[in-house]
Structure 1
Amino acid sequence: MVLGLRFFTERVGDAAGEPVLDAENEEELMHVQPGVAIVLGNRTPESPGTLYISTKRVMWLSDMVRERGYSVDFLSLSLHAVSRDPEAYPSPCIYAQIETDAVEDEESGGSDSECDETLDVSKVTEMRLIPSDPNQLDILFDIFCECAELNPEPVEEQDEEHNWIFSTGQMEDGMGTGGGEDSEWHISENPANPIGYSNGGHDLARTMLEYAELFSGLLSSSYSLQLQIDDRRFEDAEEMERDTRSGHQ
C-alpha cells in the first residue's frame, strides 16, 4: 500500500465534475461538502473546492481548476481532530496528520513550505480542511471517525515457520494419533489453552519437559544418596553396639 497524499484528477461529469470511485473495491461516497478550502503543510490556503468523503479515502477537488485535486486514504491518516484554537490556526478546521513513505529533508523541513513553487505531495504530513461554514466541523469529524473505523490497520502476516496457533483438532490431525517426541509440533496439556508451538530446535514444551525429567532425576539421585547414607549410619550403629557388648563381657 502506498502511504501519503496523492494528486487526484479523475473526474466525471460536466463543470467541476465528481471524483471517480473505485467500484471494484466497493468504494462508496459518504458525504459531499462544498465550499471547503484546503491547506497542505505550511502553505497558504488554496481556493475553496468541494470535499468528498468516501468509505476508502478523503478527496478534495478544486472548483476553479479541473486538473487540480488531492486524495488520501484513511489508512494514511494517523490523526484527525477539530481545531478551533486561533493560536493553533486562525480558522476553525479539520486538522489531519498524514503518514508518508517519503523521507523528509530535516534541514529544509520538507517540500511543503510556502517558499516552494512546486509541491511534492508525497512529503506532506499535515492537512487542514476549512469549511466556509464552521458549524459543519462536528459533522465532518463524525464522518471521518465513521470511515476510519471502516478502514482498520491491516494485520501483519505471521512468519510461516514461527508463532502459529492451531486448535486442538488441527494439531491432532497434524501430529497423528501417537504424536511422538520427534514431532515438530507440540500441544499444550491445558485444554483451556490449546496452543501449538513451532519453534524449530528450541521448542518450549520440549525444553520444559527436559527440565522436569532432569529435576525428577536429581530428586531420585538425592533420595538414593540419602538411603545410602542412612544405611551406612545403621551399619555404624550396629558395629558400635557389638563393640559395647564385647567390652562389657
Structure 2
Amino acid sequence: MNDTGYYRCKAIFKDQTQIMGSTVQIAVSVQPSTYLTVTGDGSPVCGAIGGNPPAEISWIPHSDDINSTVVEEPDQKWSVISTLKSKEISETSVTCVVSHPTLQNAWKEAIALRVQPSTFLTVTSDGSPVCGAIGGNPPAEISWIPHSDNVKTTVVKEPDQTWSVISTLRRKGMNETSVTCVVSHPTLENPWKGAIILSDYRLRCDNNVRIIITVMATVLMAGLLLYLGKIFHKKKLPNTDEIQNIIAAKDPNTQEVVDV
C-alpha cells in the first residue's frame, strides 16, 4: 500500500533541446476478505474488509432499506459493511454480492433468514422443567405458563448461523403441579406449546426413594445377620467337665459327680 501515489516520468533528449514528461497515478489493489452473518434481531450483515479500493456490496433481491458503512483503515485499506433491516424483509433468504477489481467474478453467498427451530420440553434430575428451541433463525422467544421470573435463559449462536434458545424454570419455590412452555417464532403460524406434569415426576421420585431405602435396609440387615452368625460360630461352647467346674467354683458344697 505504501507504493500507492503519483509518479512523474521525464525524458530528456541528448542534445537537451527538448524535455518530455508525463505524470501517472499508481494504485495498489488489495482483495478484501468477505463475510455474511445474521445479527441477534435477524438482520443480515455482509462485509468486505481490508480491500483497496473499497468494494461494492449489493443484495439479491434488491432492497433500498440498507445501512452501509465505509471505513478507511489505518493501513489505507477500506472496509465496507452493509446491513439489511430485518423488519422490512419478507423473503426466507437473501444473497450478498461483493464486487471488487481484484475479483474476476463477484463474490456471492446466500443466508437463510427464516429457519423454523425444533422444540423440546423435558425435566432435569432435580425436577426443573427445561424448554428448548434449537436451530432457528431468528432466535425464538420462550415463555412459561404460569408466568415466572425465576427462569434461566441461554441463547447460543450455532456454526450454521442459526440460534438455539434454552429456558430452564427453576423448581425451587414452585407450588404448581404442571407448567406449559410457549415457543414463539416468525416461522410458526401459532406458538408451539408443550405441557408437563410435575406431580408425576414427584411421584416417580418418591417411589424411587422408597425403593432405594428398602434396598439399603435389606442389605444392612443381611450384613448384620451375617456378622452375628460369624461371631456365634467362632465362640466355643463349654463341655460337661467345664460346666461342672464352673458350678463347683461358684458353690463349694457341690459334690463331684463320679460315673460308676
Normalising by the smaller structure, the TM-score range is: under 0.3
Kindly indicate whether structure 1 or structure 2 has the higher relative contact order, using CA contacts under 8 Å at least 6 residues apart.
1
Bigger CA radius of gyration: 2
Structure with bigger helix share is 1
TM value normalised by structure 1: 0.27
TM value normalised by structure 2: 0.26
